[in-house]
Structures are given as C-alpha cells and as structure tokens.
C-alpha cells in the first residue's frame, strides 16, 4: 500500500477478511462486537496505521466537536494568554481547537473563515485584523447565514451583530492619565512656552480601540488645570513601527515628559527607541496597557493597566458554548476591566 495513501476501513476489513460494517462497528461502537472479533480488528487497524476520520464522524452524527480560533497575531503575549485559556477549557468540554494566525492579512482571515465553514465547525472565536469602521469583510454575511456560533474577542468587526468579549478601553485610558497626573505631571501647570508633553504611541488612527483609549486619556486630562500637551503617533499594534516612530520623534522634538504605549508590543518598541538614543528607563516615565513580561529581569519597572487575558479567553469560550447549545440566545457583550499595576 502506498505510504502517502490514507488507510481506510475497507483496508482494515480486507486485512481481517470481514465486512466494512463489522469493522466500523468494532472501531466506533465496540460494545456491539464480540471481544475476540474486536481484538482482531483493533490489531489489524494498529498494524496498518488506521486513523479514524473524526471530521467525517462528526458529520455523520450531526455534531461537530471543532472550534476555530482566528486571531490577527500570536506574537502578542496578551493573545497567547487568551489562546491558552480557550484551548484549555475547550478540552474540558471535549472540543478540539483549530488555530489560525492570520498575520494581519485580510485574505488569510477570509480563508480561515471559509475553511472553518467548510469543516462545519461548531463555533468560531474571532479576533479580526481590524476594528476600523471601513473594514467590512465579505465573510460577515456568510457567518450570519450559517449555523456556526461566533464570538468576537478583543477586537470586533464594526457593527457586526455577534456576541463579544471586549476590554474597557476608555477606562484604561482614563486610568493611564490619572496615574500620569498623580505621579509624573503632579506639579505641572499651564505654560504656553514649555508645556509638559505626553507622547502617545498608538495603534491605527481609525481603530475603535485606539480611539477609545485616546478618548479616556483626553477626558481625564481635560478635567484638570494642568497643561499637558498630547502628541499622538498613529501606527499599528506591533513593535518595529513603534520603535521607528518613537525614535524619529525623539530625534526631532527631544524627550517628552512621558510615553504611553497603547499595548505591550508598542511599549517594547518605545523602550527600544529610548535605548537606541541613550535614554535610561528611569529617566523617562513610560506606561503601558497590558503587562510587559520579563522586564523585571532587567530591573526595569513600567506601570501597566493589566487585563486578565486568560479570563477574557475563558469568558469567550463560555459565551461560545452557550450559543452552540442554544443558537437562539440574544447577542451579548462582556466587558473586561483592567487593573493598574504600578
């Protein structure tokens, strides 16, 4: 038998000289077959390297045990926490996870959704490549017209009617601004000649998450009489662009009073830019959203508004399982609030 051909039930039946039905029963409903016959069939299946087609079995019984997780990037440690939670809790409910890293590419995201629909997945946890209002992928209608349960996690498609687990991004921005006012700009007053400057290294300009976090900062700053000028560097949520943009800002304008990185990777990029320009971490205040792992090894302390990614992933899976069990449930949004770790 060619090594590249999949071993089938018919192959096992031919080896033991029995019918396909008998072999299928022995492998799938062993209680219906005599022990001696079952042992012979199982031995032959093992010798031939037969592997049951779980997907086909799921279709036969009209029950898929597959959940898809589609994410824009697994590079972000926050997403790694969510993936771990989804995977761990899915196993407890006898579901398998099929993970798609779309690497920020719309066509890869569309392919992932199409693949999961063709596999008749029971549900999909989706963290799309963009939450910008003009990002309206064609697969939205496909998902709405299918029987698959969908829960969005962190990023959400604009005006897409799916359940979701999101972060309280406005509050996170407010928390960042309050910390800076209390610890960094405490003595600052309005000065047209030399205002204190807060540099915000942000995500995409049209991103809802970016806009909400910025709004939280601006709202809190506006409630005080301290003059803090805000400079925003629009970019994306990855390290290298943040490093380059913050470096160019420092070269042009010098050191700001503080830097706010809108996520882990952005903040790490800002710290790299500071290092490249000879700025020690203890001479320029930096604050981040979400934890910066392992910085304490290098004795670097960066205050962070930390969200529990594991909890967010777990809640997303729980929400998905509820919708798999009852497709008629109304759409629901769960908001996860972070905590300032100084």
**What pLDDT score does 272 carry?**
93
Residues 27 and 45: beta-carbon distance below 8 Å: yes
Which CATH code is given to the segment(s) 169-306?
A: 3.40.50.2300
CB within 8 Å of 5: residues ≥ 6 apart? none
**Can you tell me the distance from the alpha carbon of 41 to that of 18, in angstroms, rounded to the nearest whole number?**
9
How much is the pTM? 0.79
- Residue with token string 């096992």: 12
Superfamily grouping for domain 63-161+309-337: Response regulator (3.40.50.2300)
Any idea where the domains of the chain sit in the sequence?
Answer: 9-52, 63-161+309-337, 169-306
Q: Which CATH architecture has domain 9-52?
A: Orthogonal Bundle (1.10)
pLDDT given for residue 61 in this prediction: 47
CA distance 233 to 253: 13
Identical fold between 63-161+309-337 and 169-306: yes
β-bridge pairing 304-306 and 339-341: antiparallel
pLDDT tens for each residue of the chain, 342 residues long: 555 567 888 889 999 899 888 888 888 778 888 888 888 988 988 888 777 665 555 554 456 789 999 998 777 788 888 999 999 999 999 999 999 999 889 999 999 999 988 888 899 999 999 999 999 998 998 898 888 999 999 999 988 889 999 999 999 999 999 999 988 887 655 454 556 889 999 999 999 999 999 999 999 998 887 778 899 999 988 899 999 999 999 999 989 999 999 999 999 999 999 999 999 888 889 999 988 877 878 788 889 999 999 999 999 999 999 999 998 899 999 999 999 888
CA neighbours closer than 13 Å in the CB half-sphere of residue 236: 11
Which secondary-structure segment (H or E) carries 210?
A: helix 208-222
CB proximity list for 21: less than 8 A, separation 6 or greater: none
DSSP 118: H
């Amino acid at each position: 038998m060619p090594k590249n051909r999949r071993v089938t039930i018919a192959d096992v039946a031919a080896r033991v000289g029995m019918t396909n039905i008998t072999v299928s029963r022995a492998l799938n409903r062993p209680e219906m077959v005599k022990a001696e016959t079952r042992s012979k069939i199982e031995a032959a299946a093992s010798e031939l390297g037969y592997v049951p087609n779980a997907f086909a079995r799921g279709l036969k019984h009209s029950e898929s045990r597959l959940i898809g997780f589609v994410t824009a990037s697994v590079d972000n440690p926050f997403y790694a926490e969510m993936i771990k939670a989804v995977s761990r809790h899915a196993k407890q409910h006898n579901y398998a996870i099929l993970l798609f890293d779309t690497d920020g590419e719309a066509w890869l995201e569309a392919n992932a959704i199409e693949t999961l629909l063709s596999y008749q997945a029971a549900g999909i946890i989706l963290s799309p490549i963009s939450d910008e209002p003009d990002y309206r992928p064609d697969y939205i209608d496909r998902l709405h017209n299918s029987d698959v349960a969908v829960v969005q996690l962190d990023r959400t498609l604009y005006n897409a009617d799916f359940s979701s687990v999101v972060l309280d991004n406005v509050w996170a921005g407010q928390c960042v601004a309050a910390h800076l006012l209390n610890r960094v700009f405490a003595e600052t007053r309005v000065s047209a000649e030399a205002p204190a400057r807060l540099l915000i290294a942000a995500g995409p300009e049209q991103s809802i998450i970016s806009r909400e976090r910025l709004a939280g900062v601006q709202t809190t700053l506006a409630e005080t009489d301290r003059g803090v000028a805000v400079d925003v560097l629009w970019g994306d949520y990855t390290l290298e662009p943040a490093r380059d943009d913050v470096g160019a800002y420092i070269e042009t304008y010098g050191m700001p009073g503080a830097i706010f990185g809108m996520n882990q990777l952005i903040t790490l990029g800002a710290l790299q830019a500071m290092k490249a320009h000879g700025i020690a971490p203890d001479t320029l205040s930096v604050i981040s959203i979400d934890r910066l792992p392992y910085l304490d090894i290098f004795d670097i302390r960066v205050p962070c508004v930390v969200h529990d990614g594991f909890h967010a992933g777990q809640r997303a899976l729980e929400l998905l399982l509820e919708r798999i069990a009852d497709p008629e449930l109304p759409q629901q949004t769960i908001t996860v609030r972070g905590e300032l770790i100084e």
